[in-house]
Structure 1
């Protein structure tokens, strides 16, 4: 009789654990719940760089900025998330609930790359800080900034920022 009770308890514990795990997994992947990428961010070519462009999701409120790319199991190569902090300030990120490695590209108000933190480690709780105040942070797939040749000092352009950003738009459309 003890063996039957032990098996029943074992099965019950497995069901409870499975239910607990399923309760913390979002019913729809975060990537599908986001709006379509709404911005085109381009880094200009120069003598040492061939240029690169990304279709970016805009994270411009506290809720979107705090969620970021958490829960994404993958991310298309030329997509990104642009965090807009509305004014320059020191910012920090962590990877606690992020499933994929990311490059964090810290941008000035004018869109100039001031720092690149490459290959941030998934689930790492270490804070990744801007070296000084920045307006934007662009997150892309881990290792991609190195693969594309992105470096500090390169200039980003976007003509797609919404009208409410016109005063802070970096590198106005030429």
Structure 2
């Protein structure tokens, strides 16, 4: 094949690609955007009842992490590690200034529930459990203290429910 014919074929193919790409791009540019779900119908979680013996996995639990210690960025690093083992990200920030925690405090609607136990099982050292209501729609809040020992090397992926309970399990958004 001569050099001139090869150049002509190459330019022809590139021209077809340019025209096709331009056509597709213009169609996408002027296409109608998909509608958003109605705000009244949107919830980031749905009630789910677990029966005794049923497994609760990390992917069903939303967690807030608050720093009650002095190390900057500790709550965010802890949240990243919890997300890495499957927990759903909630709020990350600082605990109120008067909050005192040694290692870790797990706050849940019922500290004996499977969601609180599953979160607490991830941490080294003594974990304190407190009854309370986490902010947002999180199942559990974790307060990281001044003597934080860290997360266990081997995560606990699931626990069995000891009693029947209803929780707000996170729902994946649909578009």
TM-score bracket, normalised by the shorter chain, equals under 0.3
Which one has a larger percent helix, Structure 1 or Structure 2?
2
Structure showing greater radius of gyration is: 2
Provide TM-score, normalisation by structure 2.
Answer: 0.23
Question: RCO higher in 1 or 2 (8 Å CA, sep ≥ 6)?
Answer: 2
Provide TM-score, normalisation by structure 1.
Answer: 0.23
